[in-house]
Amino acid sequence: MLVSAKEMLTKAKAGKYAVGQFNINNLEWTKAILLTAEELKSPVILGVSEGAGKYMCGFKTVAAMVSSMIEELKITVPVALHLDHGSYEACMKCVEAGFSSIMFDGSHYPIAENVEKTTELVALCAEKNLSLEAEVGSIGGEEDGVVGMGECADPDECKMIADLGVTMLAAGIGNIHGKYPANWQGLSFDTLAKVQEKTGEMPLVLHGGTGIPADMIRRAISLGVAKINVNTECQLAFAAATRTYVEEGKDLVGKGFDPRKLLAPGVEAIKATVREKMELFGSIGKA
Ligand code: 13P
């Protein structure tokens, strides 16, 4: 059964560890992440962007696949199915489709409009027992085709949004999606400390988990980050393993072309990446 992310994140914040959000793209991705979470007894959040939702034939298909997989694979750890960077319309669709968690990304609206739309969604999520993530200060990198530089959130705006009653808050602290450029300045721990001071118990979310050095991840967790999003790193691991399989000519040997064989090394690579992140985030054994 899918659960809201509220309880797992409240525990994570209190216990000074973070729960990973791993974005899914297809059946193999979902299976790899769920099996690793179960094996390591870790809570987990499956992230679905609007684009990935469309690719997987709509949010209803995704919710049905994930719910059935949890049952068929006998997954017992807490699993939240979460809309990543949703528009207001996508949030509504995911609530209807049976997601247990949504992110409303109102960071590109003027703060008054972000507040108004977030307030409406807070009421809806409370009624349905879903968790809601809000964003202040846009996360840099490529987000649905728009490339941003990773601005830092205003701690007072963070407090304003946190006080509306959202479950978790993503604050931009110089983090970006995708690979970090060589001249990246690193995370702004000064901003993070101020945001945490203003928002207290609110679990904070770190987007753009790919490529952030381990020491920065640990420091971010010590300053209140309780959810860390990882997407690109699983994609890179999957692609590299698949490339090796093909370059070694294994698809040309026997039934090596069978998708169940062809995609297997990529699935193992995703599992290894998820395991490594769960170790770093400290969520193993916390289910
Ligand atoms: P990365 O692709 O950089 O890991 O970021 C993932 C993310 O933040 C999804 O919202």
Q: Give the Cα separation of 137 and 200 in Å (integer).
A: 18
Q: Give the Cα separation of 131 and 105 in Å (integer).
A: 14
Give the residue whose CA is nearest to atom 9 of ligand 1. 229
Give the residue whose CA is nearest to atom 5 of ligand 1. 208
> Is 42 close to ligand 1, i.e. is its CB under 6 Å away?
no
Q: Distance, CA 143 to ligand 1 centroid (Å)?
A: 9
Query: Looking at residue 107, what is its pLDDT?
Result: 77
Check residue 205 and give left, alpha or beta (phi > 0: left; psi -120 to 50: alpha): beta
Contact by Cβ (8 Å): 205, 168:
yes
The residues assigned a catalytic role are: 84
Query: Looking at residue 39, what is its pLDDT?
Result: 98
Query: Looking at residue 139, what is its pLDDT?
Result: 72
Query: Looking at residue 241, what is its pLDDT?
Result: 98
What are the residue boundaries of the structural domains of the chain, listed by start? 6-236+270-281
Which residues of the chain carry a pLDDT beneath 50?
A: none
Residues 6+ apart with CB under 8 A from 89: none
Query: Looking at residue 1, what is its pLDDT?
Result: 86
Containing 122, the helix (H) or strand (E) segment is: helix 111-128
Query: Looking at residue 185, what is its pLDDT?
Result: 87
Query: Looking at residue 173, what is its pLDDT?
Result: 94
Query: pTM of the full predicted structure?
Result: 0.96
Q: Distance, CA 279 to ligand 1 centroid (Å)?
A: 18
Q: Give the Cα separation of 220 and 197 in Å (integer).
A: 13
> Is 236 close to ligand 1, i.e. is its CB under 6 Å away?
no
176 CA: nearest ligand 1 atom: 3
Q: What would the pLDDT profile of 118-177 be if each residue is shown by its tens digit?
A: 999 999 999 999 999 999 877 766 655 555 566 789 999 999 999 999 999 999 999 988
CATH T-level topology, domain 6-236+270-281: TIM Barrel (3.20.20)
Q: Give the Cα separation of 118 and 110 in Å (integer).
A: 12
